[in-house]
């Protein structure tokens, strides 16, 4: 069901909408049209983008059809020969100009991001800088897309390996990081010489469209970066074209595991390169030898950033008996001090959840945990601000069969479980079909190695609650995905190796 249908287009919303919409319209980077082949495209119908803090409509964005999506693919295909043969330095220069344009427009981009996504303004700025860091990293990487020469086993031949752009790429992105999840893919794809069609989430198309505007200002040619918008009802139609069109050679998706599996199946028909950054269910382990204060600090970062709506959010907090009481005590005090409110308000740490469906899921997880014996130490309810706001919450007595242990809660709710031994902690931590990020706090160097190696996760934070950076490979194992974004490995998703055997 689309968010439009979920909230309904009631009279109250239509009247309230005017002020929020007028504010948004005053921004020069606000676009309501899709961006195809270097042109803004209005489409026959529109869907409303809502401010998650108020439910007010802030924009009415074009709904693209299957034909519109095919036009975007055709544009990307037309743009490919010139873009892919441009010297790497020039592609890099264009990406650097995009980064400069983002920095010059950071205030407006951040306000747009907070308006459509809800996160506190400071976090919106952080997301923009994080996204830009990938553009910069890959602009630099573009110039180092080295091939290989291989010693030949035969006289009279030379063996070479070229690394070439895979071709037209497609990206489908989620609402929780509406700018950075695009920048991560865009940087790598464009740097190596691919062209791209992006489909942002229904909830957050505005940051994507603002990036397209800035890309145009940065001199990125028509057709190289296209943004196809639509609501949740349009997503399967647009997605099917991107998966099944043989002109698209690679699909990069960030989102839920369920949708990722569907896209992987759809891509089978044309044997596309598929990169999937899917859901996580991160364990956060605190051992007896940990620095408890540092562990609490790391837990606050890993759990409460973006109101808990991150794929790498600590979802299962496991604490060894010896430090359990001290950890829970300190964590409770920090959680109780978190300020909740609209992302534009000064000092707010926890903004709204993306929509009312997200809040209902969090309520269900808390109710399920309580029914199975968990106790509420802090929070536990819908916040007094109502609608999409939930109280930062600490639950104790959480156990492995609860929904909040088995699924991503995607909200500001921390659930804590005690454990006795290292072996038990590892068993509990690995008891998940997800394998994206894991965290642990310990000081014994032997334990640090054993646990780092024993965790079945793509990324492990040791004595830190924040792991992601453009320089390192981001991605999951098991059902959390395929492929990596960031680091020099990130270009592998967008390139093919070609072996050339040269007879002489
Ligand atoms: P989602 O429902 O899977 O949506 C992600 C994207 O897929 C959206 O653009 C969505 O469009 C689109 N989509 C939905 N159904 C589709 C279909 N049948 N065909 C083609 N596209 C379709 O996920 P979400 O709720 O937005 O995001 C939260 C999830 O993303 C969480 O599980 C989180 O862990 C994961 N995530 C993972 C990473 C990572 O790097 N591993 C990073 C961030 C988030 P509409 O929005 O228009 O429906």
3-state secondary structure of 428: helix
Specify the pTM: 0.96
Give the percent of the chain with pLDDT over 70: 96
3-state secondary structure of 130: helix
Sheet of strand 413-419: strand arrangement: 375-378, 393-396, 413-419, 314-320, 282-286, 437-441, 459-462
What confidence tier does 8 reach under pLDDT thresholds 50, 70, 90? very low
**For residue 135, pLDDT beyond 90:** yes
* pLDDT score at 23: 72
**For residue 410, pLDDT beyond 90:** yes
Q: How far is CA 296 from CA 273, 282, 329, 396, in A?
A: 40, 16, 10, 15
DSSP track, 72-124: HHHHHHHHHHHHHHS-HHHHHHHHHHHHHHHHHTHHHHHHHHHHHH---HHHH
**Residue in 311, 408, 422, 493 annotated catalytic:** 311
What confidence tier does 2 reach under pLDDT thresholds 50, 70, 90? low
**For residue 4, pLDDT beyond 80:** no
Q: What is the DSSP letter of 188?
A: H
**Phi, psi for residue 97 in degrees, rounded to 5:** -65, -35
76, 168 in Cβ contact below 8 A?
yes
Residue with tokens 């309904």: 8
Residues 175 and 449: their CA atoms lie apart, in Å, by 35
**For residue 24, pLDDT beyond 90:** no
**For residue 464, pLDDT beyond 80:** yes
pLDDT digits (tens, 9 = 90+) for 234-272: 999 999 999 999 999 999 999 999 999 999 999 999 999
**For residue 11, pLDDT beyond 50:** no
**For residue 21, pLDDT beyond 80:** no
Task: Tokens for 292, please give them.
Answer: 């408890």
Cα 339–344–350 angle (5° rounding)? 30
**β-strand pairing of 282-286 with 437-441:** parallel
Q: Which of 69, 207, 235 to mutate to test the pocket of ligand 1 (most atoms within 8 A of CB)?
A: 235
Pocket of ligand 1, beta carbon within 6 A: 172-177, 181, 199, 201-203, 231-232, 235-236, 239, 254-256, 259, 262, 277-280, 311, 408, 436, 476, 481
Active site residue 194: no
Active site residue 267: no
pLDDT digits (tens, 9 = 90+) for 188-211: 999 999 999 999 999 999 999 999
**For residue 12, pLDDT beyond 60:** no
Q: How far is the CA of 501 from the centre of ligand 1 (A)?
A: 42
**β-strand pairing of 434-435 with 477-478:** antiparallel
Cα dihedral sign, 491-493-494-500 = positive
* pLDDT score at 484: 98
What value does the mean pLDDT take over residues 1-27?
Answer: 52
Residues 66 and 68: their CA atoms lie apart, in Å, by 5
What value does the mean pLDDT take over residues 103-125?
Answer: 98
Residues 464 and 290: their CA atoms lie apart, in Å, by 11
């Amino acid at each position: 069901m689309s968010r439009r249908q979920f909230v309904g287009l009631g009279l109250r919303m239509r009247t309230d909408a005017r002020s929020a919409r007028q504010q948004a319209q005053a921004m020069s980077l606000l676009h309501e049209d899709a961006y195809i082949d270097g042109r803004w495209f209005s489409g026959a119908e529109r869907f409303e983008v809502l401010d998650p803090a108020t439910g007010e409509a802030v924009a009415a964005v074009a709904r693209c059809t299957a034909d519109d999506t095919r036009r975007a693919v055709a544009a990307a295909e037309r743009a490919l020969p010139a873009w892919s043969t441009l010297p790497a330095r020039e592609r890099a220069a264009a990406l650097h100009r995009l980064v400069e344009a983002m920095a010059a427009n950071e205030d407006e981009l951040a306000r747009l991001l907070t308006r459509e996504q809800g996160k506190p303004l400071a976090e919106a700025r952080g997301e923009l800088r994080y996204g830009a860091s990938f553009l910069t990293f890959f602009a630099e990487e573009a110039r180092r897309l080295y091939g290989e020469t291989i010693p030949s086993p035969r006289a009279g031949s030379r063996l070479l390996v070229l690394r070439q752009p895979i071709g037209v790429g497609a990206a489908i992105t989620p609402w929780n990081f509406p700018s950075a999840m695009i920048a991560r893919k865009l940087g790598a794809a464009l740097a190596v010489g691919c062209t791209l069609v992006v489909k942002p989430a229904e909830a957050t198309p505005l940051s994507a469209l603002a990036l397209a505007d800035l890309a145009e200002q940065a001199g990125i040619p028509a057709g190289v970066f296209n943004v196809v918008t639509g609501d949740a009802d349009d997503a399967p139609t647009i997605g099917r074209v991107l998966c099944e069109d043989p002109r698209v050679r690679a699909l990069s998706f960030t989102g839920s595991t369920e949708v990722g599996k569907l896209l992987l199946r759809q891509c089978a028909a044309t044997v596309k390169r598929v990169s999937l950054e899917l859901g996580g269910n991160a364990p956060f382990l605190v051992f007896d030898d940990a620095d408890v204060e540092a562990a609490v600090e790391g837990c606050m970062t890993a759990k409460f950033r973006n109101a808990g709506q991150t794929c790498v959010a600590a979802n299962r907090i496991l604490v060894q008996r010896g430090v359990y009481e001290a950890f829970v005590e300190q964590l409770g005090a920090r959680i109780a001090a978190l300020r909740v409110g609209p992302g534009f308000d000064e000092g707010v740490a926890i903004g709204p959840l993306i929509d009312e469906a997200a809040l209902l899921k969090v309520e269900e997880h808390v109710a399920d945990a309580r029914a199975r014996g968990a106790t509420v130490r802090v929070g536990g309810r819908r916040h007094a601000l109502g609608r999409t706001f939930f109280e930062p919450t600490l639950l104790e007595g959480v156990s492995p069969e609860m929904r909040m242990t088995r699924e991503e809660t995607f909200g500001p709710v921390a659930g804590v479980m005690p454990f006795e031994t290292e072996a038990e902690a590892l068993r509990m931590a690995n008891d998940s079909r997800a394998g994206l990020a894991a965290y642990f706090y310990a000081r014994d160097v032997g334990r640090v190695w054993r646990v780092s190696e024993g965790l079945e996760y793509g990324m492990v934070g040791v004595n830190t609650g924040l792991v992601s950076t453009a320089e390192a490979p981001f991605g999951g194992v098991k059902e959390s995905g395929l492929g990596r974004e960031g680091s020099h490995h990130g270009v592998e998703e967008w390139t093919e190796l070609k072996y050339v055997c040269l007879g002489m």
